[in-house]
Amino acid sequence: MTKPKVLFVDDEPRILDGLRRSLRGKRTEWDMSFAPGGEPALELLAGSNHDVIVSDMRMPGMDGAELLTRVSTQYPAVARVVLSGQAEAEAAIRVAICGHRFLTKPTETETLTAVIDQLIVKTSRAHGTQARRIAGTARALPTLPEQVKELSAALAEQDSDASRLPNAVALDTGLTAKLLQLSNSMFFGARPKNAGIAAVVTAMGVPTIEALVAATANHWSPTTWHPEIEAYLRTTWRHAVATAALVESVASPAHRPYAHAAALLQDIGALAALAGVAGGMPHDVDLADRRCDGVPFREVGVELMHLWGLPAPVAAAVAERDTPHEAAAAGLGVTGAVRIAHLLIQRTEVHDPADGTHDEELQALLAHPQMAARSCDWTAAAHTASERASMLLAV
């Protein structure tokens, strides 16, 4: 088997020498190359298939953001790591859109090697590189025009109504995913533990959110959508928002933040694949079969969550959403809660062909002590959540 290929890019020779020295121990495992700038890096990438690129941000000529943006379109299967000193806000936002992981200089060798080793692993057993290539083209996820409007309004009213912004963010799949990705990095401020999206919004601050909304809005162009794709996105979003609302009561207290995020991101693979379509990428999307170039949307989504380093419980719950769940006696966890909420919401959607095929599983899950102890009419709760989601977006 050939060794994974890792490319390091920095304009300072001393930094490259330092990396070469400190990573000597990985020579038997990785095939490493070093480039003094963006142009030579692209030449090396053209020469052979790489797995991971680690780039500095501030470089003369082509900077890190430009290099990684080019890599995302020309070599989307290459995982993109930013390794940089403190950056100005504007540059940080640019790189936040095109990078997968973010490390600050100086970074301990163990941290750097752990991140690279993680990114060498591909999550899809059946379509490893294919799933990575599709996921790697996505820099930001599409957001519906209504959501952009609500976010802008919430940002404008930040001073008079501080709770409106977290609420608006908590309904936006693309922004939630981006914030969870960035909150995992010291680069964009300290990371709150086990953080719900409200905590992340507070930790990052309004100016960062504002800049991110503006930057990601450029990736959403509703006029280019095929009507079928737009209808699909709306149905998907409605299901996600309804599931997220319901899972707040299904999940146990500590699991609520991640369960909410997982419910909202459950179809992140479809969004990633369709973001590619809007950007003109020649993907072969099959909406009925939920595949892109033959790769199930779910596998694209899990690979993207892995690239972005989203919290493991969130990624696991999304990976398992369509897998019949056998609840552990000790508790449902994030995965079980999301599966239950998904099935309950699915039953409120008559048009779904899968409707009604998981009755036995759902009955068993609802009989779990965690659910049974709280005497709640879960079907009624599902209908309420479903209707509210429909009202938020007339589907």
Partner 1 sequence: MAKILVVDDDPAIRQLLTDVLELDGHEIHLAVDGNDGLRLLELTRPDFVVLDVMMPGIDGYDVLKVIRSQEGDPLPVLMLTASADPGSAARGWVDGVDYYLAKPFTPDVVLDIVDSVCGQRIPTTDGAA
Between CA 260 and CA 267 the distance in angstroms is 13
Verify binding: residue 257, partner 1, rule CB under 8 A: yes
Least Å distance, CB 337 to partner 1, is 10
Verify binding: residue 299, partner 1, rule CB under 8 A: yes
List, as one string, the DSSP characters of 324-342: ----BTTB-HHHHHHHHHH
Least Å distance, CB 191 to partner 1, is 12
Contact set for partner 1, span 176-195 (CB under 8 A)? 192-195
Verify binding: residue 316, partner 1, rule CB under 8 A: yes
Least Å distance, CB 333 to partner 1, is 6
Among positions 5, 239, 306, 342, the unique one binding partner 1 when judged by CB under 8 A: 306
Q: Are strands 52-55 and 295-296 parallel, antiparallel or unpaired?
A: unpaired
Comparing CA positions, the residue from 171, 122, 140 lying closest to residue 302 is 122
Q: Is the Cβ of residue 94 or residue 306 nearer to partner 1 in the bound state? A: 306
Contact set for partner 1, span 193-212 (CB under 8 A)? 193-196, 199
> Under a CB-based contact definition with an 8 Å cutoff, are residues 103 and 83 in contact?
yes
Among positions 33, 72, 113, 124, the unique one binding partner 1 when judged by CB under 8 A: 124
Q: Is the Cβ of residue 148 or residue 318 nearer to partner 1 in the bound state? A: 318
> Under a CB-based contact definition with an 8 Å cutoff, are residues 83 and 56 in contact?
yes
Among positions 55, 113, 370, 386, the unique one binding partner 1 when judged by CB under 8 A: 370
Among positions 37, 296, 327, 385, the unique one binding partner 1 when judged by CB under 8 A: 296
CA distances from residue 310 to 38, 100, 202 in whole angstroms, order as listed: 28, 10, 18
Q: Is the Cβ of residue 94 or residue 260 nearer to partner 1 in the bound state? A: 260
Among positions 154, 201, 319, 343, the unique one binding partner 1 when judged by CB under 8 A: 319
Least Å distance, CB 257 to partner 1, is 6
Verify binding: residue 118, partner 1, rule CB under 8 A: yes
Vertex 296: Cα angle to 292 and 302 (nearest 5): 110
Least Å distance, CB 315 to partner 1, is 5
Contact set for partner 1, span 211-240 (CB under 8 A)? none
The site string for partner 1 over 276-295 (x = CB under 8 A, - otherwise) reads -------------xxx----
> Under a CB-based contact definition with an 8 Å cutoff, are residues 122 and 132 in contact?
yes
Between CA 8 and CA 6 the distance in angstroms is 7
Residue 34 exposure: Cα atoms within 13 Å on the Cβ side: 14
Question: Within a 10 A sphere around the Cβ of 360, how many other Cβ atoms?
Answer: 9
Among positions 37, 64, 174, 333, the unique one binding partner 1 when judged by CB under 8 A: 333
List, as one string, the DSSP characters of 88-111: -HHHHHHHHHH-SEEEESS--HHH
Among positions 12, 111, 121, 356, the unique one binding partner 1 when judged by CB under 8 A: 121
Which tokens is 233 given? 């996105």
Helix (H) or strand (E) holding 53: strand 52-55
**Whether the bond into 106 is cis, omega within 30 of 0:** yes
Comparing CA positions, the residue from 392, 335, 338, 340 lying closest to residue 361 is 340
3-class SS of residue 285? strand
Give the binding-site size for partner 1 (rule: CB under 8 A).
46
Verify binding: residue 123, partner 1, rule CB under 8 A: yes
Comparing CA positions, the residue from 257, 245, 242 lying closest to residue 200 is 257
Q: Is the Cβ of residue 41 or residue 270 nearer to partner 1 in the bound state? A: 270
The site string for partner 1 over 49-88 (x = CB under 8 A, - otherwise) reads ----------------------------------------
Between CA 153 and CA 52 the distance in angstroms is 39
Least Å distance, CB 62 to partner 1, is 32
Least Å distance, CB 322 to partner 1, is 8
Question: Within a 10 A sphere around the Cβ of 186, how many other Cβ atoms?
Answer: 11
Residues forming contacts to partner 1 in the complex (CB under 8 A) are 118, 121, 123-127, 131, 192-196, 199, 252-257, 289-291, 296, 298-299, 302-303, 305-306, 312-313, 315-316, 318-319, 328-331, 333, 369-370, 372-374
